């Protein structure tokens, strides 16, 4: 093969993959046909590898492949890594685990093209003869999705986000209900007519698991107690049920930690979520944008001790059920402290004082959503708060959002400072253009943050992304105008 031919093809194929792979080399100018009877060899020591390969070939390309088990030797070291060797006669996939094998198929799906030069074609695809070696840069890659009351978030939309997270090789998904879940113990903590049943939520959990994701519930046990956006002034419980006012501080934003009834109410919700999420290994307790209590009891109490005991109580419940707590970081760094300039710090002297009293079971979720002008001109951010929690000995996740400059820098900092991983957020901006930033760019930051800028992704950086959205929508059986794509209507523009 001519060198320039090889480089051009590799650039096109590399540019198509989300997240980018570690290494892709063109092996020949031939193609492997994906049709009924195509030969795949699977080198994977886990039970069920051949059956999984047959199923994915059927699901992705509607073909009955001839899959054989190989020797399962010379496998990638990384549990989630995989290698692909495509020749005209056979495709060979190697992975230590079923998850790695599944990732190899996701990559193949993104590489495959429908049969060329014909008017229409189904169940006939081609793959270029390439050698791929790939593995994630970080073992913990999460997507935080928000299920707002229906139809603000539709069931199709939340399922699409979960499926896209898996397709883009995230391995955890945090699902925050925002009043959309009718808790079996307290159905009043949801919006009548705008919520779904525990069974429907459980279905999302099972879909996530079937795709290789580990689902994690979120319940805000301190601030953000309304389970509604602060800027809209709604309150999931107090709007319809003002009689529950004693459970909250007078303004409704934080739970009242002096009231034993608060703890009982929240414990019921936690237990519901444990059942619905089938005993998850992590549980997100929220705790962002909270401050000292101001009610008649809390303002006269030793508030840091109340708060510490509140967190330790829930840690004990989680621990008994085999889960670790996750909390947002911002109450543990003090507002106005110059060390955190450019980062998020909402703490008071009281709230920051309890950090050193927390067990290292707590996973700190360090969030920062905006890059500075200097960073957009090439300056490297320090990620001072991320480093602070790592230095304190906590497992810490870097949590970006829609700002791609910040997201990619976060991905590099997670590697550089040895953070536990990344938790990408989506919040209320999760349609159209923003989906590319949150899924494609964040998956690159988590999986392969040191990859070169991708070329060849087409118009708006998102043409390939749109193809993968179609893959997922077809997997879901989407069949209406409103449900295709990532937004119901083309003229909807989501502001920041
Ligand atoms: Zn209070």
* Predicted pLDDT of residue 451: 86
pLDDT classification of 181: cutoffs 50, 70, 90:
very high
Rounded to two decimals, the pTM is: 0.97
pLDDT tens column, 455-493? 544 445 578 999 999 999 999 999 999 999 999 998 876
> What sign for the dihedral angle of Cα 292, 297, 302, 306?
negative
Burial class of residue 198 (count of CB atoms within 10 Å of its CB; 0-12, 13-18, 19+): middle
Distance 224 CA to ligand 1 centre (A): 15
CB 127 within 8 Å of CB 34: yes
Give the C-alpha separation, 411 to 141, whole Å.
10
Distance 296 CA to ligand 1 centre (A): 7
* Predicted pLDDT of residue 453: 67
Residues with CB under 5 A from ligand 1 (ion): 256, 258, 293, 295, 298
* Predicted pLDDT of residue 454: 55
* Predicted pLDDT of residue 458: 47
CB 288 within 8 Å of CB 367: yes
* Predicted pLDDT of residue 279: 96
pLDDT classification of 494: cutoffs 50, 70, 90:
low
Is 70 exceeded by the pLDDT of residue 141?
A: yes
Distance 188 CA to ligand 1 centre (A): 21
Distance 110 CA to ligand 1 centre (A): 53
Average pLDDT over residues 427-449: 94
Burial class of residue 492 (count of CB atoms within 10 Å of its CB; 0-12, 13-18, 19+): exposed
Distance 34 CA to ligand 1 centre (A): 63
As beta bridge partners, residue 32 has: 127
Share of the chain above pLDDT 70, in %: 97
């Amino acid at each position: 093969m001519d060198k320039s031919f090889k480089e051009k093809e590799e650039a096109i194929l590399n540019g198509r993959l989300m997240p980018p792979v570690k290494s892709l080399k063109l092996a020949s100018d031939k193609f492997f046909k994906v049709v009924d009877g195509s030969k795949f060899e699977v080198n994977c020591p886990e039970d069920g590898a051949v059956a999984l390969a047959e199923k994915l070939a059927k699901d992705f390309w509607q073909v009955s492949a001839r899959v054989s088990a190989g020797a399962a030797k010379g496998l990638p070291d990384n549990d989630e890594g995989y290698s692909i060797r495509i020749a005209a006669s056979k495709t060979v996939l190697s992975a230590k685990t079923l998850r790695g094998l599944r990732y190899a198929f996701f990559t193949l799906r993104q590489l495959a093209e429908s049969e060329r030069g014909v008017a229409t074609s189904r169940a006939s695809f081609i793959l270029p003869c390439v050698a791929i070696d790939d593995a994630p840069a970080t073992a913990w890659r999460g997507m935080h999705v928000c299920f707002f009351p229906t139809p603000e978030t539709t069931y199709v939309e939340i399922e699409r986000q979960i499926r896209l997270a898996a397709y883009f090789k995230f391995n955890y998904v945090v699902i925050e209900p925002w009043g959309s879940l009718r808790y079996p113990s307290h159905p009043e903590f949801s919006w009548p007519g705008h919520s779904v049943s525990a069974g429907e939520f459980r279905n999302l959990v099972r879909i996530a698991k079937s795709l290789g994701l580990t689902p994690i519930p979120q319940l805000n046990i301190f601030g953000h107690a309304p389970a509604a956006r602060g800027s809209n002034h709604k309150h999931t419980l107090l709007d319809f049920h003002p009689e529950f006012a004693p459970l909250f501080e007078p303004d409704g934003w934080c739970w009242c930690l002096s009231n034993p009834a608060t703890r009982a109410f929240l414990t019921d919700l936690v237990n519901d979520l444990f059942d619905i999420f089938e005993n998850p290994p992590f549980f997100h307790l929220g705790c962002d944008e909270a401050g000292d209590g101001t009610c008649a009891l809390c303002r006269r109490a030793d508030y840091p001790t109340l708060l510490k005991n509140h967190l330790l109580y829930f840690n004990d419940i989680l621990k008994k059920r085999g889960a670790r707590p996750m909390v947002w970081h911002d109450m543990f760094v003090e507002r106005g402290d110059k060390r955190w300039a450019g980062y998020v710090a909402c703490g008071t002297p009281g709230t920051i004082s309890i950090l050193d009293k927390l067990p290292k079971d707590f996973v700190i979720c360090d969030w920062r959503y905006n890059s500075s002008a200097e960073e957009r001109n090439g300056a490297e951010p320090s990620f001072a708060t991320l480093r602070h929690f790592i230095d304190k000995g906590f497992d810490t996740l870097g949590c970006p959002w829609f700002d791609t400059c910040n997201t990619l820098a976060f991905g590099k900092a997670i590697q550089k400072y040895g953070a536990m991983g990344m938790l990408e957020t989506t919040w209320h901006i999760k349609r159209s253009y923003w989906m590319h930033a949150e899924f494609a760019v964040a998956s690159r930051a988590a999986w392969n943050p040191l990859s070169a800028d991708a070329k060849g992704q087409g118009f708006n950086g998102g043409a390939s992304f749109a193809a993968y959205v179609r893959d997922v929508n077809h997997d879901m059986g989407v069949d209406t105008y409103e449900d295709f794509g990532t937004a119901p209507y083309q003229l909807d523009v989501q502001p920041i």
